Chain A
Amino acid sequence: HASNLYLTEIPQVRINELFEDLLVPYAKKLNVDFIWVHGAATVLEATLAHSLNSIGTPTLVVEMGIGLRLTQAYGEQLVDGIFSLMKELGIWSGECAEPREPLLSRDPEDVSFLNAPVSGVFIQHMEHNSYAQQGQLVGEIVDPLRGECLCKVLAPCTGVIFTLRDFPIVDEGSLIGRMLDARALNPEQRAFYEARGARPVSSLDLAKYRKGQQGGYAE
């Protein structure tokens, strides 16, 4: 399923630790970017996936993109993954893409949460799925009336921003993002993400517009 209306997610499979051994091999065939094995929270026991897994039907929860919006590339990526998994299971005998090797986290300490310390408007400075260095500026929370920066949101660790807030309004405590610590990456994955680095948000090019270098908005 999608994320909620506020957060955008890279294609990922979330697995309750109770079913880790059974489901991780299947999830690796799904061509997703990330597999997150997490603790058994009480409310998850009321979900469809938990119920099906409990009665012996292996069920994967894929979370990706953002609610009420269409992310075509993610959709196509997952379709490839479903055919890859069906081939593994002997359901499909035709061609299919080789699934990518996903990031994998089994340790809760690998994932850091970024919660808004104050209410305001979150302005992101870094694209989703960036590789941020600890202390690097992920975004700012500004006062909606005066525009002044109330708080700088800094990366709590070095790693991949696999969840990032798309909806700009935040209350104190609102989730802004989640990061997977670099220690969870294998050497190849780390090299890939380090080469990618932190991708700045294109809207920062507004500064160029303001200087009149590309026409429009010249002061």
Chain B
Amino acid sequence: MKKILLFEMRSLYRDSMRVYGYLFGADALCGEEDPEHPGVVRGFPQGCGKTIAVISGMRGNEFTQVFEASQLVSRLSLLESQGRITEGCTVLVIPVANPYSFNSEIRFWPTDDTDINRMFPGYDLGETTQRVAASLFDVLDGFEFGIHLTSHYISGNFLPHVSIQDTGWDYTTSAKAFGLSYVRFRKPTQYDTTTLNYNWQIWNTKAYSIYGGNDQTVDRDV
């Protein structure tokens, strides 16, 4: 496993916001450690293969999703140590894509209440969350599969399920492999076209959004 500092943004009152990823697989051996941060590679290694990316914690109240990602990092670490990750395949896990909101327990961006998941593919010269989305998408673009552990805009207790936006590319059969309650395949509304799921697909990544449980709690069963 390589811990990667994917990008950072200087904060106003607190330490810089740093977004980390955990990279598994044979190609994870590439990349050099950052001398300022022992054990951490700065930036996603160029030329590294991109098989599956898992991202969570894009909103500050998605606790169960961050817990799921942490369990995944733990499980993958064990599997990698046992040599059980298929050669040539890589898995990138980003447990907390938005530590600024997560540390404040606020769903959206604390300063201006905007949602990073309505800013994709992002704009690196735009407003703050457009820049965060651009930095994330710079890393996430090019993966074969993308999994977004996320939550619905209306709060509630959700059965674990997979949601895929219908962009004209039907790979729903593959979503059954998650083994969840159901797969939702739906037409995107206008404002869905700025989500990660939609943009991943436009750039040829098979994207799966996973919902389940409540916001603001850790649901271990989910």
Number of interface residues of A (CB under 8 A): 19
Among B129, B130, B194, contact of A42 (Cβ-Cβ < 8 Å): B194
**Contacts known (A169-B12, A173-B131); A115 close to B190, Cβ less than 8 A:** no
Interface-lining segment among B56-64, B85-93, B120-128, B143-151: B120-128
- Asked whether B194 lies within 8 Å of A43 as measured between CB atoms, the reply is yes
- Which residue of A has the minimal Cβ distance to B132? A173
CB distance from B30 to the nearest CB of A (A): 29
Interface residues of B in 90-114 (CB under 8 A from A): 109, 111-112
Among B9, B111, B125, B190, contact of A169 (Cβ-Cβ < 8 Å): B111
Q: Would you call B193 an interface residue if the criterion is a C-beta within 8 Å of the partner chain's C-beta atoms?
A: yes
- Asked whether A172 lies within 8 Å of B190 as measured between CB atoms, the reply is no
- Asked whether A46 lies within 8 Å of B12 as measured between CB atoms, the reply is no
- Asked whether B112 lies within 8 Å of A42 as measured between CB atoms, the reply is no
Among A4, A45, A119, A175, contact of B10 (Cβ-Cβ < 8 Å): A119
User: Which residues of the partner chain A approach B125 to less than 8 Å between Cβ atoms?
Assistant: 115
**Contacts known (A4-B112, A46-B189); A171 close to B194, Cβ less than 8 A:** no
On chain B, which size bracket covers the interface?
20 to 34
User: Which residues of the partner chain A approach B13 to less than 8 Å between Cβ atoms?
Assistant: 144
Among B10, B11, B112, B190, contact of A174 (Cβ-Cβ < 8 Å): B112
**How many angstroms from the CA of A4 to the CA of B108 in the assembled complex?**
15
- Asked whether B12 lies within 8 Å of A144 as measured between CB atoms, the reply is yes
User: Which residues of the partner chain B approach A144 to less than 8 Å between Cβ atoms?
Assistant: 12-13
**How many angstroms from the CA of A121 to the CA of B127 in the assembled complex?**
16
**How many angstroms from the CA of A6 to the CA of B109 in the assembled complex?**
14
- Asked whether B127 lies within 8 Å of A120 as measured between CB atoms, the reply is no
- Asked whether A119 lies within 8 Å of B112 as measured between CB atoms, the reply is no
Q: Would you call B153 an interface residue if the criterion is a C-beta within 8 Å of the partner chain's C-beta atoms?
A: no
- Asked whether B126 lies within 8 Å of A115 as measured between CB atoms, the reply is yes
- Which residue of B has the minimal Cβ distance to A50? B190
- Asked whether A171 lies within 8 Å of B190 as measured between CB atoms, the reply is no
Interface residues of B in 40-72 (CB under 8 A from A): none
**How many angstroms from the CA of A144 to the CA of B194 in the assembled complex?**
34
Q: Would you call A86 an interface residue if the criterion is a C-beta within 8 Å of the partner chain's C-beta atoms?
A: no
- Asked whether A43 lies within 8 Å of B126 as measured between CB atoms, the reply is no
Contact with B along A106-145 (1 / 0, CB 8 A): 0000000001001111000000000000000000000010
- Asked whether B128 lies within 8 Å of A42 as measured between CB atoms, the reply is no
CB distance from B28 to the nearest CB of A (A): 30
- Asked whether A115 lies within 8 Å of B127 as measured between CB atoms, the reply is yes
- Asked whether B12 lies within 8 Å of A175 as measured between CB atoms, the reply is no
**How many angstroms from the CA of A169 to the CA of B110 in the assembled complex?**
11
Interface residues of A in 1-35 (CB under 8 A from B): 4, 6
Chain A residues in the interface with B (C-beta under 8 A): 4, 6, 42-43, 45-46, 115, 118-121, 144, 169-175
Extra contacts, 6 of them, besides A144-B13, A171-B11 (Cβ < 8 A), are A43-B194, A115-B125, A171-B12, A171-B109, A174-B112, A174-B127
Kindly list the 10 A-B residue pairs having the minimum CB-CB distance in the complex, ordered from nearest. A173-B128, A119-B12, A171-B128, A45-B190, A46-B190, A173-B131, A173-B127, A171-B111, A42-B193, A46-B191
In the assembled complex, 15 residue pairs joining A and B whose CB atoms fall closer than 8 Å, in A order, are A6-B112, A43-B191, A115-B125, A115-B126, A115-B127, A119-B10, A169-B12, A170-B12, A171-B12, A171-B109, A171-B112, A172-B9, A172-B128, A174-B112, A175-B127
